[in-house]
Amino acid sequence: MATVSVPRAHWSGRRSTLASIRLAVLTFLADPQWLIPSMIAPIVFGFVSFELFLGTPDLVVYVILGAGMMSMWGQTLYGSGWATGQDRNIGTLEPTLSAPTPYVFVVLGRILWNVVSGLIGIVLVFVVVVVATGTVPSIDNPVAFVVLFVFTMLTLAAVGTVFAAAYVYTRYAGFVQNVGEFAFYIGTGCMFPIVILPFWTNPIALLFPPSWALDALRYASIPGYVGFSWGLGWDIVGGVATTAIYLLIAGIVFKRVERHVLEVGNLQEY
C-alpha cells in the first residue's frame, strides 16, 4: 500500500494577522491623505459638542466620545467590512481565500489596525479642538478613562468582526451598514446617554457591547453621572460578556460564511 505523506499546512494565525496589519499600514502609508476626509465630520462634531457642553462636567466625554466614536465607526466598523468589499471588487478575495489561512485572521489584522488608526483620528480631533478653542479639558480620572476607552474600542472591534463577516457573506452588506450607521450612533449612546432615550430602545442597545462600555466610561469620567442603575461594575461585566458573545458569533459565522460563499460562488464581482 502506497501511503501518501501529507505535510500539514504550516500557516500560522498570528503571522497572518501580522501580515494583514502590515498590508493595511502599507496601504495607508501609500495614501495617508485619505484619513482627512474621514476626519472632517468628527472634527465638526467635536466643535459643536464643545460649544454645547462648555462648562459642564460632560465636556470631555462628549467631545472625545462623540467625535471619537464617529471616527471609530468610520475606521473600525466601516473600515473592516469595507476592506472585504474592496477585496471582492479588486479581485483579491479569491487569491486570499485560496491560501490555507482562514480569512478571519486577515480580517482581525485589519480591525486591529483600524482601531489604531481610529485612535489617531481621536487624538487629531482632540488636538484640533484644544488648539482652536484654547481650552484643555481636564479628565477626572485619566487612568480609568484610558483603560475604559481602550475597552470601548475592543467592544467596537468585536462588532466590526461580525460586520466583516456580513461583507464576506453578501455584496450588499454596505447598504445595510449605511442604514444602520445613524441608529448605531444614537442607539449605543456615543452621542448622548441612552438612558434618556425611550425605554424600549434600551434593551436593543444593550445587545451592542459598546453601549455597556460607553456607560462605564461615563461613570468613570463624569462626576455625578447617572446612567444604568446597575452602575460601573456591572457595566464592565456586561461589556465583557457581550464582547465575548460577539467574538464567539464571529468565529462561528466566519466558518459558516466561508463555506456559504463557496456554495453560492459570489467571491468575485465584475
Partner 1 sequence: MSSVPAIEARGITRVFQSRKGFFYQDVTRTEALRGVDLTIETGEIFGLLGPNGAGKTTLTKILTTLLLPTSGTARVLGLDVTKDTERLRARIGLVLGGERGLYNRISARENLRYFADLYGVPLAEREKRVNEVLEWVGLTWAADRRTEEYSRGMKQKLHIARGILHRPEVLFLDEPTIGLDPKSARETRKLIRSLLGEGVTIFLTTHYMFEAEELCHRIGVLSRGRLAAVDTVAGLRDLVGGDRTIEAEDYGFEDSELAAVRHLPGVSKVVSEEYGPVTRLTIRVRTGDLTIDTVRQNLIGHGGLQVRERRTSLEDVYLDLVEEEAR
Provide the binding-site residues for partner 1, judged by CB under 8 A.
2-4, 6-12, 15-16, 18-19, 22-23, 26-27, 30-31, 90-92, 94-102, 106, 259, 262-263, 265, 267
By beta-carbon proximity to partner 1, the closer residue of 107 and 236 is 107
161 contacts 248 by C-beta, under 8 angstroms: no
By beta-carbon proximity to partner 1, the closer residue of 51 and 263 is 263
By beta-carbon proximity to partner 1, the closer residue of 133 and 266 is 266
Using alpha carbons, select from 192, 195, 241, 233 the residue that is nearest to residue 216.
233
By beta-carbon proximity to partner 1, the closer residue of 96 and 202 is 96
By beta-carbon proximity to partner 1, the closer residue of 14 and 56 is 14
> Least distance from C-beta 84 to partner 1, angstroms?
14
> Least distance from C-beta 74 to partner 1, angstroms?
19
> Least distance from C-beta 6 to partner 1, angstroms?
6
55 contacts 154 by C-beta, under 8 angstroms: no
> Least distance from C-beta 148 to partner 1, angstroms?
34
Instruction: Name the one residue in this structure whose C-alpha cell is 469595507.
Output: 82
For residue 241 the three cell numbers come to 460578556
By beta-carbon proximity to partner 1, the closer residue of 49 and 80 is 80
> Least distance from C-beta 94 to partner 1, angstroms?
6
Tell me which amino acid residue 124 is: L
By beta-carbon proximity to partner 1, the closer residue of 10 and 138 is 10
> Least distance from C-beta 97 to partner 1, angstroms?
6
SS3 content of the chain, % helix, strand, coil (to 5): 75, 0, 25
CA-based max dimension of the chain: 83
Using alpha carbons, select from 28, 51, 33, 65 the residue that is nearest to residue 215.
65
Using alpha carbons, select from 107, 104, 127 the residue that is nearest to residue 115.
107
Query: Beta strands of 116-241 (E only): which ranges?
Result: none
Whole-number Å distance between alpha carbons of 179 and 177: 5
> Least distance from C-beta 32 to partner 1, angstroms?
11
Enumerate residues 6+ apart whose C-beta is below 8 A from 63: 46, 49, 50, 53, 125, 126, 129, 137
